[in-house]
């Protein structure tokens, strides 16, 4: 338990620390409202006693006005506390969301292969949302409730020691019972959140593959699986609700016992002449108020259970560490970069078969190579190793004058550019899509690249130029326009090594000519690896490399391989590469 509170304290200090001013304002508002709540029954007793004693109407009116004024001020303070608390909670939880998102983005590719986007959304948003009250008002409400509880008991002792002693014993018993239930539903709440993450992941996967589901008539199967996932989530949610309800039902039972005790004490003392009718009425009010802090503490315990479940999952996520770490160097030589693979082999973590085997080759700066091979031969894995999305199982990869582990990931990926058939565009302006939100790149440089790529007419037709917002996924753009924007993005990076994954394989002839011109410009004074599926794509390259079953079976100058009738590449030219790699 001490460990849990220490974790909560560390989290509060980290995310509420930058907003301590708002936290102080929240504390003042809550404590002010608590003080007025404690004082208000005194005015009510004055009114009852004055009415019983036959005091003038003016006295009754004044007592009623004071009571109403204090109640109004307390309500204003409570509204202010709710506003500041929600504001504080959103600021703190948004900061936590940002940290979680950044942390997830920094994790290695195997992590993202094993977690669906829906699961990560639930972890980053759903778990954090369950902690919103924990950030905004948990500590202040706990302290405020404790102060109100102690204040009520002190006032009751002042009124009559028998009342104070009886209700103190009752309050301590109630708190003890509720404290014993503090972690009653943590495990079930954690299971509920995990099933919620599974549900969101399932929905995301099915929506992503909706075309395939419809085309293959798999709607009934998808819905059956949806019902199965929903059933598991419903069962987990019901069990968590039942467990959390035990706390609420216990507090209601204690509330009823307290009311019976208060009315019994008040009636007995009034009938014996020990207290006035106003004091007896005061007693019932304070007992009702006594349950406000107890109920609030109960609610906080329930919220704490939800927060504990979210906190556990959040901390589990934050505890995951990157395997691929930055090296000490943050620079690479300017201009085209040499590439070298030295005895490189690679096996994915979840597989027992080597994907790459003993790769050895070297590309001189400014060399372009066409990379050929069937699906599964290792071409994509080779490109992933160059970006250091994975590290080789064996061997070393050199870029320029450094091995990849010697470089920071930012330095490496700034000097390596890639254009694929599947272009990733964001729901953002054209400028932000091209610069990847780097506002230091001037518009003149962006427009110069756009002109060189033949997109001047296209950008002039956009209603707000570079500020035009693109739809998510590049909706509204043709495949050619999207790929030309991808080329512009790479040009702005000015990399020393570019990797092209057949960027013109699905375009109309007019757009393909623009792509061809862009490719020619991009290859100038750069090292390039072109993953090709068509003969036309490799006509411009200096060298050819053919892979099969994770090995290089041929690598040499293109012109020499064309002239050698015994070469694999010459055989591909005779038979037609499209058929060979179909």
pLDDT digits (tens, 9 = 90+) for 433-445: 999 888 889 999 9
Contact 255, 14 (CB under 8 A): no
Higher pLDDT, 106 or 209: 106
Using the predicted structure, report yes or no on whether residue 182 has a pLDDT greater than 70: no
pLDDT for 179 = 67
On whether both 286 and 358 belong to a single domain, the answer is: no
From 289, 319, 349, the end of a domain falls on 319
The stretch 74-96 carries a mean pLDDT of 86
Cα 20 from chain centre: 24
- Using pLDDT thresholds of 50, 70 and 90, give the confidence band for residue 581: low
In a domain, 436, yes or no: no
Structure tokens at 347: 């096996």
For residue 374, report the phi and psi dihedrals to the nearest 5 degrees.
-70, 165
Q: Tell me the C-alpha distance between 517 and 504, whole Å.
A: 11
In a domain, 333, yes or no: no
On whether both 297 and 383 belong to a single domain, the answer is: no
On whether both 393 and 315 belong to a single domain, the answer is: no
On whether both 289 and 380 belong to a single domain, the answer is: no
In a domain, 445, yes or no: no
On whether both 259 and 371 belong to a single domain, the answer is: no
Per-residue b/e over 246-273, b at no fewer than 16 CB within 10 Å?
ebeebbeebbeebeebbeebbeebbeee
In a domain, 466, yes or no: no
The stretch 178-201 carries a mean pLDDT of 78
Q: Tell me the C-alpha distance between 147 and 130, whole Å.
A: 26
On whether both 310 and 348 belong to a single domain, the answer is: no
Using the predicted structure, report yes or no on whether residue 300 has a pLDDT greater than 80: no
On whether both 167 and 251 belong to a single domain, the answer is: yes
| Coil vs helix vs strand at 121 | helix
On whether both 350 and 311 belong to a single domain, the answer is: no
pLDDT for 394 = 94
Lowest mean pLDDT among 5-19, 136-150, 213-227: 136-150
pLDDT in tens, 207-216: 877 878 877 7
CATH number of the CATH domain containing 285: 1.20.1560.10
Q: Tell me the C-alpha distance between 203 and 420, whole Å.
A: 27
The stretch 282-308 carries a mean pLDDT of 72
Start-to-end CA distance of the chain, whole Å, equals: 62
Using the predicted structure, report yes or no on whether residue 370 has a pLDDT greater than 60: yes
Using the predicted structure, report yes or no on whether residue 262 has a pLDDT greater than 80: no
On whether both 344 and 292 belong to a single domain, the answer is: no
Q: Which of 270-274, 314-318, 562-566 has the highest mean pLDDT?
A: 562-566
pLDDT in tens, 85-94: 888 888 888 8
DSSP string, 466-517: GGPBPPGGGTTS-HHHHHHHHHHHHHHH--SEEEEE-TTTT--HHHHHHHHH
In a domain, 1, yes or no: no
The stretch 180-185 carries a mean pLDDT of 70
Distances (CA, A) of 294 to 209, 240, 255, 290, 408: 50, 22, 9, 7, 54
Q: How many structural domains is the chain composed of?
A: 2
Which residue range(s) make up the domain with 303? 7-319
Using the predicted structure, report yes or no on whether residue 582 has a pLDDT greater than 50: no
Q: Which of 301-315, 495-509, 510-524, 549-563 has the highest mean pLDDT?
A: 549-563
On whether both 90 and 22 belong to a single domain, the answer is: yes
On whether both 314 and 400 belong to a single domain, the answer is: no
CATH number of the CATH domain containing 384: 3.40.50.300
In a domain, 440, yes or no: no
From 260, 285, 319, the end of a domain falls on 319
In a domain, 391, yes or no: yes
* Closest alpha carbon to 288 in 3, 465, 44: 44
On whether both 344 and 290 belong to a single domain, the answer is: no
């Amino acid at each position: 338990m001490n460990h849990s509170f220490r974790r909560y304290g560390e989290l509060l200090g980290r995310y509420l620390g930058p907003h301590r001013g708002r936290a102080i304002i929240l504390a003042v508002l809550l404590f002010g409202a608590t003080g007025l709540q404690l004082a208000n029954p005194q005015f009510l007793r004055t009114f009852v006693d004055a009415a019983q004693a036959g005091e003038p109407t003016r006295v009754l009116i004044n007592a009623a006005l004071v009571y109403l004024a204090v109640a109004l001020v307390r309500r204003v303070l409570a509204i202010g506390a709710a506003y500041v608390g929600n504001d504080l909670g959103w600021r703190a939880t948004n900061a936590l969301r940002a940290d979680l998102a950044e942390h997830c983005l920094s994790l290695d590719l195997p992590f993202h292969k094993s977690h669906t986007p829906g699961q990560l959304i639930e972890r980053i948003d759903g778990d954090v949302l369950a902690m919103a009250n924990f950030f905004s008002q948990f500590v202040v409400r706990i302290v405020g409730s404790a102060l109100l509880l102690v204040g009520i008991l002190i006032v009751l002792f002042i009124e009559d020691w028998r009342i104070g002693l009886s209700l103190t014993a009752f309050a301590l018993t109630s708190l003890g019972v509720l404290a014993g239930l503090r972690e009653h539903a943590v495990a079930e709440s954690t299971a509920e959140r995990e099933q919620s993450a599974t549900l969101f992941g399932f929905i995301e996967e099915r929506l992503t593959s909706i075309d395939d589901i419809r085309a293959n008539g798999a709607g009934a199967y998808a819905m059956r699986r949806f019902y199965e996932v929903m059933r598991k989530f419903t069962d987990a949610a019901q069990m968590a609700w039942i467990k959390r309800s035990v706390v609420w039902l216990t507090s209601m039972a204690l509330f009823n016992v307290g009311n019976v005790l208060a009315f019994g004490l008040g009636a007995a003392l009034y009938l014996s002449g020990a207290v006035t009718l106003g004091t007896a009425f005061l007693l019932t009010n304070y007992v009702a108020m006594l349950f406000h802090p107890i109920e609030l503490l109960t609610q906080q315990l329930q919220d704490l259970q939800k927060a504990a479940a979210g906190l556990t999952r959040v901390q589990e996520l934050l505890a995951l560490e990157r395997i691929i770490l930055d090296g000490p160097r943050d620079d690479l030589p300017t201009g085209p970069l040499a590439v070298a693979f030295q005895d490189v082999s690679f096996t994915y973590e979840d597989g027992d078969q080597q994907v790459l085997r003993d790769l050895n080759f070297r590309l001189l700066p400014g060399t372009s190579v066409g990379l050929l091979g069937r699906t599964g031969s290792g071409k994509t894995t080779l490109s992933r190793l160059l970006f250091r999305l994975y590290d080789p199982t064996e061997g070393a990869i050199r870029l320029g004058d450094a091995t990849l582990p010697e470089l920071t990931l930012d330095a490496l990926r700034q000097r390596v550019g890639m254009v694929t058939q599947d272009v990733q565009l964001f729901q953002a302006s054209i400028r932000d899509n091209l610069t990847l939100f780097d506002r230091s790149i001037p518009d003149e440089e962006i427009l110069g690249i756009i002109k060189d790529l033949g997109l001047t007419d296209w950008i002039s037709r956009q209603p707000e130029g570079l500020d035009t917002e693109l739809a998510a996924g590049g909706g509204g753009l043709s495949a050619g326009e999207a790929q030309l924007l991808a080329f512009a993005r790479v040009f702005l990076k000015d990399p020393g090594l570019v990797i092209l994954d057949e960027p013109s394989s699905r375009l109309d002839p007019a757009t393909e000519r623009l792509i061809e011109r862009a490719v020619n410009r991009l290859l100038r004074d750069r090292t390039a690896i072109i993953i090709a599926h068509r003969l036309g794509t490799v006509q411009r390259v200096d060298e050819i490399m053919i892979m099969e079953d994770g090995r290089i079976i041929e690598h040499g100058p293109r012109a020499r391989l064309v002239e050698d009738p015994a070469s694999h590449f010459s055989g591909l030219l005779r038979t037609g590469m499209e058929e060979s790699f179909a």
